[in-house]
Amino acid sequence: MKIRRIIANNRRKAFEVTAGRTRLLFPYAKAAPRPASDDPVRNVYVDKELGREAFTYVLDSGKEGTVHIDHVLEYNEDPTTLRDLLLYQLTVEAQRRLRKSTLSRREVIRRAGRASAAGASVRRRRDRVRSRRPRVGGGRG
């Protein structure tokens, strides 16, 4: 999602981010370095070097901070972002547990009780190996 516009709202003590058609708030308290009344935001702009997916702000002290749109969406609990984040976390955890498991991939797929792309690839590899073996004893066919 691209950021179209960014405004530093000192009254609300938050950045107002316009991305797509939605307007989202991101509080100063969540930003690092944190703007304060004695060190306010001097300048804020959409960062084109980051593909308009982040904004950069400069404080009076000269400190600079950057906030990515993902942080803003996560703070505002955007359903799509939360779904993607949860799916990613579950995938990483499943991969970690599979590496630690003593079960083979095929056994994990069998226990899951459903066909999957991984199961299909295991079967394809098995069938390729079987087709290369010479037939002994006449077999069928």
Segment 117-128, tens digit of pLDDT: 666 666 676 666
> Nearest Cα to 38, choosing from 14, 66, 60, 56?
60
Token pair 């004893």 is at which residue? 137
In the three-class reduction of DSSP (H, G, I as helix; E, B as strand; rest coil), residue 3 is classed as strand
Q: In the prediction, which pLDDT does 116 show?
A: 59
Tokens matching residue 94: 């499943």
Q: How confident is the model at residue 75 (pLDDT cuts 50, 70, 90)?
A: very high
pLDDT over 90 at 16, yes or no: yes
Q: CB of 14 within 8 A of CB of 29?
A: no
- Joined together, the tokens standing for residue 6 give 């960014």
Helix/strand/coil for 70: helix
Tens digit of pLDDT for each residue in 42-51? 999 999 999 9
The confidence score (pLDDT) of residue 72 equals 95
Place of tokens 């370095």: 33
Confidence of residue 4 (pLDDT cuts 50, 70, 90): very high
Strands 14-19 and 3-9: antiparallel
If one compares 134 and 75, the residue with the highest pLDDT of the two is: 75
Q: Name the token pair of 4.
A: 């179209």
